């Protein structure tokens, strides 16, 4: 589905696709950076970067090796989730329902976990923590809204084609 080719979307659908691409780009980049930080830093520093509302002296205690491995695993998950949403940007720009679904699924579930276990527990500050949840929800609403408009347009095209073939 190419917005510059034979398919013409209405301006509202195009705007919703573009807004969602920008939001998924911001969300994806932040998660790639957080993932790289968690993978490359020592455990106390990685915890301070992920859970930025944690007091510095509580994050600087000596952690067992397994805690470091868990943080590295979290960093890997942040990295790949960010990469997947970044890879979805171009197909979403062109109206791909699969890319919209994939970004919403990966980004939404990643953000839900962060919100439940970090936001609600008070371990992250509003900026950048909670703002990422708002960005993710807004990206989902914009991209799913555009997807529904594309589906309605596809349905209309099918109905018109059938009527033309029958007539």
Residue that wins the pLDDT comparison between 1 and 149: 149
pLDDT 10s digits, 144-166: 999 999 988 888 877 877 778 77
Q: Output DSSP code: residue 120.
A: T
Report the sign of the C-alpha dihedral through residues 113, 117, 122, 128, in that order. negative
Domain assignments of the chain as residue spans, ordered by start: 11-166
Dist. CA 146–CA 113, nearest whole Å: 25
pLDDT, greater one: 167 or 76:
76
Percent of the chain with pLDDT over 90: 60
Kindly report the average pLDDT of the chain as a whole number: 89
Contact 79, 36 (CB under 8 A): yes
């Amino acid at each position: 589905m190419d917005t510059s080719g034979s398919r013409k979307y209405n301006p509202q659908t195009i705007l919703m696709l573009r807004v969602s691409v920008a939001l998924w780009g911001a969300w994806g980049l932040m998660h790639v950076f957080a993932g790289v930080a968690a993978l490359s830093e020592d455990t106390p520093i990685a915890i301070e970067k992920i859970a930025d509302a944690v007091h510095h002296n509580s994050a600087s205690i000596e952690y067992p090796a397994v805690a470091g491995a868990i943080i590295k695993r979290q960093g890997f998950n942040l990295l790949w989730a960010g990469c997947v949403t970044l890879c979805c940007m171009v197909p979403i720009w062109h109206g791909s329902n699969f890319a919209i679904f994939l970004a919403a699924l990966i980004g939404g579930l990643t953000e839900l976990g962060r919100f439940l276990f970090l936001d609600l527990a008070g371990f992250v500050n509003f900026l950048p923590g909670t703002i990422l949840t708002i960005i993710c929800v807004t990206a989902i609403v914009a991209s799913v809204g555009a997807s529904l408009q594309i589906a309605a347009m596809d349905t209309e095209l099918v109905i018109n084609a059938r009527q033309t073939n029958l007539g």
